[in-house]
Amino acid sequence: MFKHVISIKDFSHKDIDLVLGQADKMLKILNTKGSSDMLHGKVLASLFFEPSTRTRLSFEAAMHRLGGSVIGFSDPKGTSLKKKETTADTIRTVAAYSDIIAMRHPMDGAAKLASDVSTVPIINGGDGSHQHPTQTLLDLFTIKKELGTLNDLKIAIVGDLRYGRTVHSLVGALKQYKADFRFIAPELLKMPEEYKKGLKYDEFTELDVGDADVVYMTRIQAERFSDATDYEKVRGSYVITPKTLSTMKKKSIVMHPLPRVDEISWECDADPRCVYFNQAFYGVPTRMALIAMLLGVAK
Ligand code: CP
């Protein structure tokens, strides 16, 4: 059993199946009683050094739904980091006040560094452009709920494949389920070589999703570019519209980790294949499962 959740690379096929099985149980709790007291008296520290809506609030909702309580911050400006305290000392201190820490940080590798100094489990809620493992677990849960399987799927991943931590984590997990990838990105934002090792994939610059079972759309992230003129070259490269949906199979889905800017037009939202808001909801049972497993109340 894992002690921290840092990278999806640490999860075997069996680990993923265990988490998704627990997430199913948590979904049943949400759909019946709405909450549980299995973590009564436990404290989650929610440390967000970078903005977030879904990850932070679904972690916090997950802890409340399990009967626990939450401390933390959503903006490091209000903490002693402003007085030049190090992130390591912040983690050491917060670990003394809590039973588990969920954190997001702009620096690649920050969650691993935190796990090296923490006396309580660390869950990585996104570190720079590196990894977003809990997003991947909820993405896998969504695919399983919507399509019934994770095996042998055709997955088109579109947009920012260079800086997108959600897609770096996702391809690593889906490799274990023999996915066939279609990477669609501008030259400037192609999937880095290190994430393509061992994958079955083709690469395209045009938005042609082929016969994909899953179209995984991503935002081109202005905040990751050091040169604004590079961002201007690629912004608005791809937009999914009802016309795109008309080329897709009846049994297929469009996912997006969100937030979206303009890469999926609002007219698509009513199409039942567009499951990105279900996906955001599935963050709650998936994160309930992870918190309960790390705290040893679910196996
Ligand atoms: N998907 C995701 O990480 O969204 P937030 O940035 O809102 O947490």
Domain locations in the chain as residue ranges: 8-131+280-294, 133-279
Measured between its terminal Cα atoms, the distance across the chain in Å is 8
Q: Whose CA is nearest to atom 1 of ligand 1?
A: 257
**Nearest by Cα to 213 from 244, 251, 246:** 251
Instruction: Indicate the Cα dihedral angle 47, 49, 54, 57, nearest 10°.
Output: 30
Q: Nearest residue CA, atom 3 of ligand 1?
A: 55
- Among protein residues, the one with the nearest Cα to ligand 1's atom 7 is 53
Nearest CA-CA partner of 65 in 276, 246, 286, 240: 286
From 53, 131, 284, the mutation candidate for ligand 1 (largest count of ligand atoms within 8 A of CB) is: 53
* 246 φ/ψ angles, rounded to the nearest 5 degrees: -65, -20
How confident is the prediction for the chain on average, in pLDDT? 95
- Residue 125 Cα: closest atom of ligand 1: 3
Over residues 50-59, the mean pLDDT reads: 97
CA of 256 to the centre of ligand 1 (A): 10
* Ligand 1: centre distance to CA 279 (Å): 11
- Which residues make beta-bridge pairs with 246? none
Atom of ligand 1 nearest to the CA of 104: 8
Active site residues: 54-55, 84, 104, 132
Residue 214 has pLDDT above 90, yes or no: yes
Residues with CB under 6 A from ligand 1: 52-55, 126, 135, 257-259
Report residue 124's pLDDT band, with 50, 70 and 90 as the boundaries. very high
The pTM score is 0.95
What whole-number distance in Å separates Cα of residue 243 and Cα of residue 52? 31
Q: Are 101 and 123 in contact (CB under 8 A)?
A: yes
* Ligand 1 atom at shortest distance from the alpha carbon of 57: 8
Distance 56 CA to ligand 1 centre (A): 8
In CATH, what class is 133-279? alpha beta
Atom 4 of ligand 1 has which residue's CA nearest to it? Answer: 54
pLDDT band at 232 (very low <50, low <70, confident <90, very high): confident
As to burial, measured by CB atoms within 10 angstroms (0-12 exposed, 13-18 middle, 19+ buried), residue 209 is buried
Atom from ligand 1 closest to the CA of residue 280? 1
Give the pLDDT confidence of 171-208 residue by residue, as tens digits: 999 999 999 999 999 998 999 999 999 999 999 999 99
Q: What is the 249 CA–ligand 1 centroid distance (Å)?
A: 28
For residue range 16-49, what is the model confidence (pLDDT) as tens digits? 999 999 999 999 999 999 999 999 999 999 999 9
pLDDT tens digits, 67-114: 999 999 999 999 999 999 999 999 999 999 999 999 999 999 999 999
Q: What is the CATH number of domain 8-131+280-294?
A: 3.40.50.1370
* Tokens linked to 224: 């990751």
Tell me whether domains 8-131+280-294 and 133-279 share a fold: yes
Residue 53 burial (10 A CB sphere; 0-12, 13-18, 19+):
exposed
CA of 78 to the centre of ligand 1 (A): 21
Quote the pLDDT of residue 56: 98
| pLDDT on residue 129 | 86
- From ligand 1's centre to the CA of 133, what distance in Å? 12
